[in-house]
Structure 1
Amino acid sequence: MRPQTKRYRYVYLITAVTALLTAAIVFIASSVQDGSTPTYNSQEDFAENEVPKEYISVYKQAGEDYDIPWTLLAAVHRVETVFSTMETLESPVGAIGHMQFMPCTFVGWNYPGCGGNGSTDIPERELTDPETINEYGGYGVDADGDGRADPYALEDAVYSAANFLASNGAAGGEVRPAIYQYNQADWYVDDILNYYNTYDEEVELVSLEENHLAEEGG
């Protein structure tokens, strides 16, 4: 009987270890969201219809230049980084900047070494170089005219997002497919469209500074 008891103990041990590993895998999977540009809505500093007034001129100018609704850009900015109020503008899977571009999408997927989810380590001087971006077919835009297309510069990031969305159908009215290309997950598309439609119907402009002051005071 003793060998049998020992065998049962091994079975119980293997079962317990398997259960723990399964739980760990589920936890990790739930921590990394689908798509190439993850969302981090960990702060809810804004009501569903609120947009910081400080960004409106950039949204509108980029929307006009690329023939897409400015409210679409606001919606993407809201979902991606809560209007750039997140503690970090870098995601665990490698998306960067105000509008959460994967580096390969920003500089171009023809860039040497680009593959997988696009989180290739690209030297900053090349990632932000307009000539390099043009050579490799990227979406990065030097909107502020400083000679660099910088995903961490708000104006550049918004214009780059406008470039991407317009190029993928939004300029022709294909808003949903364009959003899906930005992040290929249905839940993401639904989130963007929810804010986009809300802003179209009843947008309320608020002060970004006042929102932060209210949060600190609370």
Structure 2
Amino acid sequence: MLDNLIPAEEIAAVIIEPIQGDAGIIVPPDKYLPALKKMCKENNILFIADEVQTGFGRTGKWFAVEHWGVEPDVILLGKAIASGMPLSAIVAKKEVMDSWKAPAHLFTMGGNPVSCAAALATISVIKEERLIENAKEMGDYIKARFNGLKEEHELIGDVRGKGLLIGVDLVSDRGIKQRAEKEAAKVCWRCWEKGLILTFFSKSVLRIAPPLVITKKEVDLAL
């Protein structure tokens, strides 16, 4: 289909979120990313993964693309890379970075040593405390709990995600998947009243993305 829309020679790069975040925690079909990567490689197009939301253990892997065995040419990182300190990064294959001559990739405020130290400490904590494994284990548990609630409440239309990046889609009609916008807002307000911070995206998808250090006891308390 893409071949019929835009000639390959006019495409410099394809930039994707392995799991769409603000669009409603959309997990792609299993064959999608490998096929997209294959198409990019065959047509000499850079395959760029935006892992700002999904990277650094959030999905139960260091990077979300690992779930599909895909190796990007470039990975974009931020947010979790330094546990809230202002830092972002572009990680790319050697041939890509070598083609980008200085000072094209130099920035006045780049490489702040305090933020970089925070990033190194973050990597150490993730490894030492096995937070990636915890993200997978707790994520599976949270999804199982919500799927149990789905059997009891027609309002829950879908539960999806990987690791601790989970979307709970609220619908007013499961048959036509009518978005339950007002209900989503009410759920969030009720949670806030009880001291639980929760928000929603894409009109009616509850975003469940707790810290990677969350425990089963804390999950049970929240639910």
Q: Which has the higher strand share?
A: 2
Higher relative contact order structure (alpha carbons within 8 Å, sequence separation ≥ 6) = 1
The TM-score range, normalised by the shorter chain, is under 0.3
| Larger Rg computed on CA atoms | 1
Q: Which has the higher helix share?
A: 1
- For normalisation by structure 1, the TM-score amounts to 0.23
